[in-house]
Copies of this chain bind each other. A is one copy, B any other.
Amino acid sequence: MNNKIITISRQFGSGGRTVGRQAAQALGIPCYDQELLEKIAEESGFSKEFIRDRGEHTPHSSWLANAFSDRGPHGLSTQDYLWTIQSQLILELAEKGPCVIVGRCADYILRDKTPCLRAFIHAGLDQRADRIVRVYGQTDEAPVKRLRDKDKRRAAYYRFYTEMEWGDARNYHICLDSGAVGIQRCADIIVELYHAFPQQG
């Protein structure tokens, strides 16, 4: 498997998804984000909404809570079941051809398999709060609270399945603050890097 892949991990509201789409467009390769969600839904039988909202919940860590948690087919917890399907699909997408994959721990799933440029996009809390209200609209919950909850959940989910720290610079080849750098420029830098990646010699 020698397809060059870009994985984009991102803080909620940082515009990381847009960075991924813009980079993919500039490179003329597919960007998997919604499509990946749809494929996981199709494969697992769960709805897209369920996967989006619950897919990043961490399995219960105590055996007691775990014993009473939801079970999918094969006796796996729902999360472990989704994780298995997601890992398989991501490996298949990477086999198919060069692409951008947003979220879903693709950086970890592809870590040994293929030349994979791992990017992490983040931004300040205020800038993200502005953005989620603009993009997703108001909800009953204050934007900053939504962001903090989502951050905490993603970090826990990532830690659970990868045993690494989400957002630790050392896990990525490039990390960018989209609030300070600008979304379009983030995409430009990643595109430029992709061409020369990995550096030779």
Interface residues, chain A, CB within 8 Å of chain B? Answer: 11, 117, 120, 122, 165, 167-170, 172-177, 180-182, 185, 189, 192-193, 196-199
Do A174 and B176 touch (CB < 8 A)?
A: yes
Q: Compute how far the CA of A122 lies from the CA of B171 in the bound complex, rounded to whole angstroms.
A: 10
Question: Does B175 contact A172, Cβ atoms closer than 8 Å?
Answer: yes
- Closest B residue to A186 using CB positions: B174
In Å, the complex CA distance between A189 and B174 comes to: 11
Give the residues in chain B near A169, CB-CB below 8 Å: 120, 122, 167-169, 172, 175
Offer 18 A-B interface pairs, CB within 8 angstroms, sorted by A: A117-B180, A120-B169, A120-B175, A122-B169, A122-B170, A167-B169, A168-B169, A170-B177, A172-B177, A173-B176, A175-B175, A180-B197, A180-B198, A180-B199, A182-B199, A185-B193, A185-B199, A189-B189
- One complex includes copies of this chain to the number of 2
Give every chain B residue within 8 A of A192 (Cβ-Cβ): 189
> Are A185 and B196 CB-contacts (below 8 A) given A168-B167, A169-B120, A169-B169?
yes
Name the residue of chain B whose CB is nearest to the CB of A166: B169
Question: In the bound complex, do residue A173 and residue B168 qualify as a contact, i.e. CB atoms below 8 Å apart?
Answer: no
Further 13 A-B residue pairs, CB within 8 A, beyond A169-B175, A174-B175: A120-B175, A165-B168, A167-B170, A173-B181, A174-B174, A181-B197, A181-B199, A182-B196, A182-B199, A185-B196, A185-B199, A189-B192, A189-B193
Question: Hey, which chain B residues are within 8 Å of A170, CB to CB?
Answer: 11, 122, 167, 177
Which of B120, B122, B181, B193 lies in contact with A181, CB distance below 8 A? B193
A174 to B: closest C-beta gap in Å: 6
Residues of B within 8 A of A11 (CB): 170
